[in-house]
Chain A
Amino acid sequence: GAVVSQHPSRVICKSGTSVKIECRSLDFQATTMFWYRQFPKQSLMLMATSNEGSKATYEQGVEKDKFLINHASLTLSTLTVTSAHPEDSSFYICSAYREPEQFFGPGTRLTVL
């Protein structure tokens, strides 16, 4: 149990387009999900905390208008990278919180050309 999936696993897009990444908790309900960003050979940086039915809480320095987060149900959170640029290329990882543990998705590699 406690499986978290992400879709897509890889996406390549052109600069200026928007990309949506889905994070699903497959066998449990999660009122809280987290979105992280991981640059090559670096650690995970928390971008935002996604709360079901309310607005996401963004970490300092993360543009909320660029990284739109929607947590419309207890099993699904989406991250939309709007008007993506090459500097947004990264590995995006979500996690779902089920007390007392956090379960991570496999990640989505975004490449912006």
Chain B
Amino acid sequence: GNSVTQMEGPVTLSEEAFLTINCTYTATGYPSLFWYVQYPGEGLQLLLKATKADDKGSNKGFEATYRKETTSFHLEKGSVQVSDSAVYFCALSKGTGGFKTIFGAGTRLFVKA
């Protein structure tokens, strides 16, 4: 079946450090891939997405590239801020827009000033 595996947290970084959160997936066909962010006490917000191989999603300084050959969609940011502290979820869906989305376990990020 379809599944998403992401690195366990928590991840603790100092401000302005480089961030990588690994995500790999298992799916038949060509899923769409997403990163969602959840701030404390809030619901999920779509951070970025990619719908086909080699697409790069980007938003707010975050990037992720859809790598079909390695079935990966790693999240990166060159310089994190304290305000980036949140839980990040990698996800996939068979449709283009998130219908019946399957989520990874989430990775909690703490950024220290």
Contact = CB atoms under 8 A, between A and B. Distances in A.
A42 B46 CA distance: 18
Contacts of B45: 104
Given A101-B46, A102-B46, 16 more contacts: A4-B43, A41-B106, A41-B108, A42-B105, A43-B89, A44-B103, A46-B102, A95-B98, A97-B97, A97-B98, A97-B99, A99-B96, A100-B95, A104-B43, A105-B43, A107-B42
Interface of A: 4, 6, 32, 34, 41-44, 46, 49, 93, 95, 97, 99-107
B97 A99 contact: yes
11 contacts: A32-B99, A41-B106, A43-B103, A44-B103, A100-B98, A101-B46, A101-B98, A102-B101, A104-B36, A104-B44, A104-B45
Interface string B43-72: 111100000000000000000000000000
Contacts of A104: 36, 43-45
A106 B42 contact: yes
Interface residues of B, number: 21
B104 A43 contact: yes
B97 A93 contact: no
Interface of B: 36, 41-46, 89, 95-106, 108
Given A42-B105, A93-B44, A106-B43, A100 B100 contact: no
Contact of A101 (B89, B97, B105): B97
Contacts of A6: 43
